[in-house]
Amino acid sequence: STMYNMWLQYKIVNENNKDFWREVAVLSNSCIARSIKEELRFALNSMYKIAPDITTNHQAKIVIGVIKEISGLLNGKQKEIIADLPEEGYLITNNQGQLILTGKTDKALLYAVFHVLREVQLGNDVTSLNVVEGPKNILRMVNQWDNLDGSVERGYSGNSIFYENGEIVKDKSRIRDYARFLASVGINAISINNVNVWEEETYFITKKYLPEIKEIADIFKSYGVTLYLSINFASPIAIDGLDTADPLVDKVRKWWKEKVTEIYQYIPYFGGFVVKADSEHRPGPFTYGRDHADGSNMLAEALAPYNGKVIWRCFVYNCVQDWRDRSTDRARAAYDHFKPLDGKFHENVILQIKNGPMDFQVREPVSPLIGAMEHTNQMVEFQIAQEYTGQQRDLCYLIPQWKHVLKFDTHIKGEGTTIEEIVAGNVHSYKYSGLAAVSNIGNDDNWTGNTLAQANLYGYGRLTWNPGLAAETIAKEWIQQTFGKKESVLKTMEEILMDSWHIYENYTAPLGIGWMVTPHSHYGPNIDGYEYSRWGTYHFADRQGIGVDRTIETGTGYTAQYEMPNQLLYNNIDTCPDELLLFFHHVPYKYTLKSGKTVIQHIYDTHFSGYEQVEQLISKWETIKEHIDVPRYKNISERFSMQKRNAKEWRDQINTYFYRKSGIEDEKRRTIY
Ligand code: BDP
Name, in order, each residue with C-beta under 8 angstroms of 616's C-beta and a sequence gap of 6 or more: none
CA distance 118 to 115: 5
User: Is 246 annotated in the active site?
Assistant: no
Q: Which amino acid is at 647?
A: A
β strands within 28-78, DSSP E = 53-55, 62-64
Cβ neighbourhood burial of 111 (10 Å; 0-12, 13-18, 19+): buried
Query: What pLDDT was estimated at residue 321?
Result: 85
Query: What pLDDT was estimated at residue 371?
Result: 98
The model's pLDDT over 307-350, given as tens digits with 9 standing for 90+, comes to 999 999 999 988 888 877 767 899 999 999 999 999 999 999 99
Name the nearest CA neighbour of 451 among 619, 621, 610, 623.
Answer: 621
Which one-letter DSSP state was computed for residue 530?
Answer: T
The region that residue 448 occupies, defined by phi over 0 for left and psi between -120 and 50 for alpha, beta otherwise, is: alpha
Using CB distances shorter than 6 Å, the residues near ligand 1 are 153-154, 195-196, 276, 280, 315, 359-360, 387
Ligand 1 centre to CA of 408 (Å) is: 24
User: Does the pLDDT of residue 14 top 80, yes or no?
Assistant: no
Q: Which amino acid is at 436?
A: A
C-alpha pair distances (Å), 573 with each of 355, 514, 586: 23, 19, 9
- What distance separates the 2 farthest-apart alpha carbons in the chain? 80
Respond yes or no on whether the N-terminal peptide bond of residue 285 is cis (omega within 30° of 0).
no
Q: What is the 3-state secondary structure (H, E, C) of 543-589?
A: CCEECCCCCCCCCCCHHHHCCCCHHHHHHCCCCCCHHHHHHHCCEEC
CB atoms within 10 A of CB 130: 10
Ligand 1 centre to CA of 229 (Å) is: 17
Task: Report CA Rg, the chain.
Answer: 26
Three-class SS of residue 592? strand
User: Is 387 annotated in the active site?
Assistant: yes
CA distance 253 to 307: 17
Query: What pLDDT was estimated at residue 231?
Result: 98
Q: How confident is the model at residue 75 (pLDDT cuts 50, 70, 90)?
A: very high
Does residue 10 contact residue 119 with C-beta atoms inside 8 Å? no
The dihedral built from the CA positions of residue 314, 315, 318 and 323, taken in this order, carries a sign that is positive
User: Is 495 annotated in the active site?
Assistant: no
Query: What pLDDT was estimated at residue 16?
Result: 75
Q: What percent of the chain has pLDDT over 90?
A: 94
Does residue 210 contact residue 263 with C-beta atoms inside 8 Å? yes
Q: What is the pLDDT averaged over residues 17-40? A: 94
Could you report the predicted ipTM of this complex, rounded to two decimals?
0.98
Ligand 1 centre to CA of 223 (Å) is: 28
User: Does the pLDDT of residue 252 top 80, yes or no?
Assistant: yes
Q: What is the pLDDT averaged over residues 588-615? A: 98
Query: What pLDDT was estimated at residue 393?
Result: 98
The model's pLDDT over 378-388, given as tens digits with 9 standing for 90+, comes to 999 999 999 99
Nearest atom, ligand 1, residue 276 CA? 13
Does residue 461 contact residue 477 with C-beta atoms inside 8 Å? no
